[in-house]
Amino acid sequence: MSDRCDEALANLYLYLDSELDRVSSDRIRAHLADCPPCEHVFSFEHRFKLVVRERLREEVPPEFIAKIRAVLSSEYEIDG
């Protein structure tokens, strides 16, 4: 993993929530275009967020979310 990857992954959630300043968010977008592994993580998380938001209107057991988080964390070695 390069420093760029660390920076991109550290800002994953801020980026997806559009809470980053424009410069940082442009830099991450540029990195994702050049780095398929990071792009994969970001698009996976993006879809995950959408699915969770959609499913939260129904009833989702917290264990289900915890389980997906655990799978994601172990697969990509992301904390949290």
CA distance 42 to 59: 25
In the region spanning residues 16 to 75, those forming contacts with Zn ion, defined by CB under 5 A, are 35, 38
Binding-site size, Zn ion (CB under 5 A): 3
- The reply on whether position 9 binds Zn ion by CB under 5 A is no
Four-residue CA torsion sign, 50, 54, 57, 61: negative
CA distance 32 to 43: 10
Nearest approach, Cβ of 78 to Zn ion (angstroms)?
12
- The reply on whether position 5 binds Zn ion by CB under 5 A is yes
Nearest approach, Cβ of 22 to Zn ion (angstroms)?
20
CB atoms closer than 10 angstroms to residue 29: 14
Binding residues vs Zn ion (CB under 5 A)? 5, 35, 38
